[in-house]
Amino acid sequence: MKFSINREQLLKPLQQVAAVVEKRQTLPVLSNVLLEVGDGQLSMTGTDLELELVARLPLEGELEPGETTVPARKLVDIAKSLPAEADIRFEVDGERMLVRSGRSRFTLSTLPASEFPNLEDAAAGSSLEMKPDMLRSLIDRTAFSMAQQDVRYYLNGMLFELKPGRLRAVATDGHRLALCDAELDSPVEEASVILPRKGVMELSRILGDTGEAARLTIGRNHVRIVVGAITFTSKLVDGKFPEYDRVIPKEGSRKVVADRETLRQALARVAILSNEKYRGVRVQLSEGSLRIVANNPEQEEAEEEVSVDFNGSPLEIGFNVSYLLDVLNTMGGTQAELEMGDSNSSALVFDPESKAAVYVVMPMRL
C-alpha cells in the first residue's frame, strides 16, 4: 500500500475519525484507524463498536492499493505536528508503515485490516435528506437535557421520531425535558429510535463542518448519516423511551413573558449564592414582577427582581437554577414565555415567536 496526500486535506477528516476511537480499549485494534486505498481514494475508518465513522478522500499521483490499521492518536499527532501544506507520503513495509514528509520520517506499527471490526451494514429503513444545519439545530437545542450516566440507560441518549411532515428530537433526564421539531418536505416512513449520547455529540460535531445535504437512514438497529465525504453509523439504544407527551403540561393557568437575556442574567447572578449541591432558587411571581431568591447553608442570600408581562394570581415555586439557565442559554429569540400551574406543577418554557422547541422543567421543594 502506498499513497501521498496533502496535510490540509488529511488532517480534519482524520481528526473526525479519530474522535470516535476510545483511548482505552480491550482490543488493541480498536485503538487504530483503518486505512484503505483503492479506486483512486483513501478511506479512513474509526470505531468503538457502537459508533463507526468513515471518511473518504480523493487521491492523486502514484498509489498502490491495499489496507492496514495504524494507531489513531499517533497518526493525528504526526499530521498536526507537520508544517502547513506539507505533502505526506505513506508506504506499508511489512508490519510497519513508513510516514515521510520533507526531512521527517516516522515508522508506525500496524495491525492487520482483517482484525478490524465492521459494524454490520445498516438495514434499509426510513430514509430522508435534510440540511445539516437543520439536523444540528435539533440536536443542539435538546442535547443538554440528556442524562449522563443514568441507570435508566434509555435516558442516556436522544429520541428521534419520524412522523409525516416532521422529525422530532426529544431528550430528558427525568428532571427536565427538551423537545424540538423540524419540518420535512419529503414523505417518510414513521420511525422512533434512541441514539446513544456519544453518537449524538459526535454527530453534532460532524454536522457543523459542512454545507452539503445530509442523508439520514433509520434502520431497526442502526442509524446512518451520510454528509459529504463522511459516513456516520451508530448502533441504537435498545429500550423504550418514556411517553414524553404525558409530562408536557397542558396549558398553564399562569403565563409569564420576560426578556430572555434580562431573565438569564438575573438567574445567573442569583445562582452564585445558591446551594452548591442542590442549586435551588425560589421564584415569586406577582403582577408585573418576577422575584428570584437564593440562599445557601452559609446564610448568604441573593435576590433579583425582573419586570415581566404577567397579571395573574401570585405564585411561589422552586426550581433548579441550572436547569432554567440551560434552557435560556439554548433558546433563541429575544423573549421567553413560561407557563405555570401551581407550585407542584412543571413549568413549560418556549420562545413565544416560535414553538419549534419547548422545554419542561420540574419544580423543586425548597
Helix axes 7-20, 197-207, angle to 10 degrees: 160
Task: Flag whether pLDDT at 170 surpasses 80.
Answer: yes
Question: What residues pair up with 338 in beta bridges, in sequence order?
Answer: 256, 349
Helix locations, 33-88, DSSP H: 72-81
Question: 175-215: per-residue pLDDT in tens?
Answer: 999 999 999 988 888 999 999 999 999 999 998 766 678 99
What pLDDT, on the 0 to 100 scale, is given for residue 209? 62
Instruction: Give the model's pLDDT for residue 46.
Output: 97
Kindly report the average pLDDT of the chain as a whole number.
Answer: 94
Residue 352 confidence (pLDDT): 93
Strands 41-47 and 32-38: antiparallel
Residue 120: the pLDDT is: 65
Sort strands 126-130 and 214-218 into parallel, antiparallel or unpaired.
antiparallel
User: What are the cell numbers at 121?
Assistant: 451494514
Cell numbers for 298: 452559609
281: its cell numbers: 432558587
Residue reference for cell 488529511? 10
pLDDT of residue 250: 87
> Is residue 95 a contact partner of residue 107, using CB atoms and an 8 Å limit?
no
Cβ pair 255, 279 in contact under 8 A: no
Residues 6+ away with beta carbon under 8 Å from 102: 82, 83, 86
The domain locations on the chain are: 2-115, 126-245, 251-361
- pLDDT tens profile 313-336: 999 999 999 999 999 999 989 999
For residue 124, the model assigns a pLDDT of 67
CA distance linking residue 191 with residue 22, whole number of Å: 30
Here the cell at position 254 is: 399562569
Q: How far is residue 249's CA from residue 155's CA, in Å, rounded to a whole number?
A: 20
- Record the pTM: 0.91
Mean pLDDT value across residues 272-278 = 95
The confidence band for 122, taking pLDDT boundaries of 50, 70 and 90, is: low
- The crossing angle, in degrees rounded to 10, of helices 7-20 and 72-81 is 150
Provide, rounded to the nearest whole percent, the portion of the chain with pLDDT above 70.
98
12-39: pLDDT as tens digits: 999 999 999 988 878 999 999 999 999 9
The whole-angstrom separation of Cα 20 and Cα 227 is: 16
Predicted local confidence at residue 121, as pLDDT = 65
Out of 3.90.600.10, 3.10.150.10, 3.30.9.10, 3.30.930.10, select the CATH number for domain 126-245: 3.10.150.10
Q: Cα separation of 366 and 355, whole Å?
A: 30
Residue keyed to cell 397542558:
250
For the segment 136-166, what is each residue's pLDDT rounded down to a tens digit? 999 999 999 999 999 999 999 999 999 989 9
Distance (Å, whole) CA 86 – CA 54: 23
Question: For residue 210, what pLDDT is reported?
Answer: 66
- Domain 2-115 grouped into CATH 3.10.150.10: yes
The CATH code of domain 251-361 reads 3.10.150.10
pLDDT at position 189: 87
Say whether pLDDT at 123 is over 60.
no
Give the pLDDT confidence of 336-347 residue by residue, as tens digits.
Answer: 999 999 999 999
Tens digits of per-residue pLDDT, 239-258? Answer: 999 999 999 998 889 999 99
Query: Taking a C-beta distance cutoff of 8 angstroms, is the pair 38, 12 a contact?
Result: no
Q: What is the pLDDT of residue 25?
A: 79
pLDDT at 60: 93
Beta bridge partners of 53: 46, 232
Q: Do domains 2-115 and 251-361 have the same CATH topology?
A: yes
